[in-house]
Amino acid sequence: MSQLFSPLEIGKLSLENRIVIAPMCQYSAEQGRATAWHRIHLGNLSLSGAGLLIVEAAAVQEDGRITPQDLGLWNDETEAALADVLKDIRQYSTMPLGIQLSHAGRKASTDVPWRGGGFLTPEQHGWQTKAPSALPFNDGDGTPHALSLAELDEVKQAFVESAKRADRLGFELIEVHAAHGYLLHQFLSPLANKRDDNYGGSLENRMRFVLEVFSAVRAAVPASKPVGVRISATDWVEGGWDIEQSVALSQALEAIGCDYMHVSSGGLAPQQQISVGPNYQVPFAEAVKKAVTIPVIAVGLITEPKQAEAVLHSQQADAVALARGMLYDPRWPWHAAAELGEKVQAPPQYWRCEPHEVKGLFKQ
């Protein structure tokens, strides 16, 4: 059996294979509520044969959205809308579903990417952003409000309440988003965090809020439900967050019950200098994997089945996550199974599509 199509245990959740569909923002919600687009998009991906589908970042507070069109999970209305979508998906797919919980912090209140993604002022239906420190992401952005200690407790409780909603919705896995320059990542990085209290300065202090949020989420849902964290392993900016600090954070998270690490990079500062190429983020996952015993998910221009197989075979990661590649080819797991001589799940309505040269591809 190939490594890619071998089973994987994340906490008490069993995955049929090690292909993960990474969270991908769709900017297609209405006041945080999932729409028909999510039914189509997630329904399509849930029939792909991947081992796990993680739903896009869901904002834990209304002002934690990246854009006004972000998915949310902060009230009864957003929970009900997502429940309606999930009900339809689960009629036809048995794929495990996870959800990523997030707060955008100083990167909130922006337009959708296909309209440039620029900062939205209140006059443009934007809102006051908040962050560890009053430092904007871009010079032309509005200055974020520096969170008080009481407001930190409110954000932490918002993560807890959203996690409880995710649990009620039946998600099999919860991911805390501490990557890509959003609020929790902002606390980690000395480039965004200039606080002089217990949440700023030393590495221990900068990690404190992430560890507190994770602990609160972990305690809020059943122990049988895996809770993991996505991190940016480096800011790609000198003097910023880096892989050595990411290793320390990963070890600290494992010590308090984290079930897996999902390792990405970047997004914290517009000054980032990223060397993009196949597997460009995999060495970060490898460094984390060497330091912890929990599963580590690698990402970063992993686009070919044999490439993904090599990452796992060389023990650089325990699973691989695809995002844009899965949008481009929503049947990537089928094609990977065919290339590697393996079998994959597919709905019976599609069994007739098996090419003659790979008969027996689908599990029946």
Task: Check 27, 182, 199, 260 and give the catalytic one.
Answer: 182
Residue that has been written with the tokens 């980690």 in this structure: 188
DSSP class per residue in 334-354: HHHHHHHT--B---GGGGGG-
298/88 Cα distance (integer angstroms): 30
Tokens of 10: 């994340």
Which residue type is seen at 16? E
- 73 near 82, Cβ under 8 Å? yes
Could you confirm whether 27 is annotated as catalytic?
Answer: no
228/257 Cα distance (integer angstroms): 9
- 358 near 338, Cβ under 8 Å? yes
Determine phi and psi for 63, rounding to 5 degrees: -80, 5
Determine phi and psi for 227, rounding to 5 degrees: -125, 125
342/323 Cα distance (integer angstroms): 22
- 22 near 322, Cβ under 8 Å? yes
Cα dihedral 248/251/253/259 (nearest 10): 140
241/92 Cα distance (integer angstroms): 42
Residues annotated as catalytic (active site), given as ranges? 182
